């Protein structure tokens, strides 16, 4: 975490306005809830299947507003209980054998990248269309090869 902060401080001021560091899993989930509320077209995510109710509820509300929601998860994460919960949300769900770095893309404008380990969870929220489009292309290639749940 210290290294991330040190490198972040080296960024030009212009970039710092477009990148935020979020510490802690619950803080990331709360950010995700807020970003979902602002989503206008689509949300794509490579993620574990959270059971945090506000998170699930906002996915459901997004789908009801006409937002296209796609989630890639690992086969290990796709338990019967979690699949049932997430299918009720209306999100399209597929699984892949190996879950890469977790990330989400909002409307080709925002990306969250998530890292965990050694009891720590850090997210980067990046507001950058170029990165969002690149990550969407990567997501789509994984989606095509993923298996339906």
Q: Is the pLDDT of residue 6 over 60?
A: no
* Mean pLDDT to the nearest integer, 92-108: 93
> Mean of the pLDDT values across residues 12-27?
75
User: Global pTM?
Assistant: 0.86
Confidence of residue 134 (pLDDT cuts 50, 70, 90): very high
Phi (first) and psi of residue 26, to 5 degrees: -65, -40
Does residue 10 surpass a pLDDT of 80? no
Residue 16 has pLDDT above 60, yes or no: no
Q: Is there a contact between 32 and 44 (Cβ–Cβ < 8 Å)?
A: no
Q: What is the 3-state secondary structure (H, E, C) of the chain?
A: CHHHHHHHHCCCHHHHCCEEEEECHHHHHHHHHHHHHHCCCEEEEECCCCCCHHHHHHHHHHHHCCCEEEEEEECCCCCHHHHHHHHHHCCEEEEECCCCCEEEEECCCEEEEEEEECCEEEEEEEECHHHHHHHHHHHHHHHHHCEEC
pLDDT over threshold 60, residue 4: no
What angle in degrees, to the nearest 10, is found between the helix axes of 80-89 and 53-64?
Answer: 40
Per-residue pLDDT of 31-80, as tens digits, reads 999 999 999 999 999 998 988 899 899 999 999 999 999 999 998 888 89
Q: Judge whether residue 1 has pLDDT over 60.
A: no
Rounded Cα distance, 86 and 81, in Å? 9
69-98: average pLDDT? 92
């Amino acid at each position: 975490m210290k290294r991330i902060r040190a490198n972040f401080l080296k960024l030009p001021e212009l970039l710092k306005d477009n990148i935020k560091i979020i510490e802690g899993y619950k803080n990331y989930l709360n950010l995700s809830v807020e970003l979902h509320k602002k989503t206008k077209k689509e949300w794509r995510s490579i993620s574990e299947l959270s059971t945090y109710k506000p998170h699930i509820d906002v996915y459901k509300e997004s789908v009801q507003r006409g937002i296209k929601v796609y989630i890639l998860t690992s086969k290990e994460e796709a338990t019967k209980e979690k699949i049932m919960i997430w299918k009720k949300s209306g999100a399209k769900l597929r699984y892949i054998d190996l879950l890469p770095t977790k990330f989400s893309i909002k409307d080709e404008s925002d990306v969250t990248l998530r890292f965990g380990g050694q009891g720590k969870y850090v997210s980067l929220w990046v507001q950058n269309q170029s990165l969002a489009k690149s990550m969407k292309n990567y997501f789509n290639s994984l989606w095509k090869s993923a298996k339906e749940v």
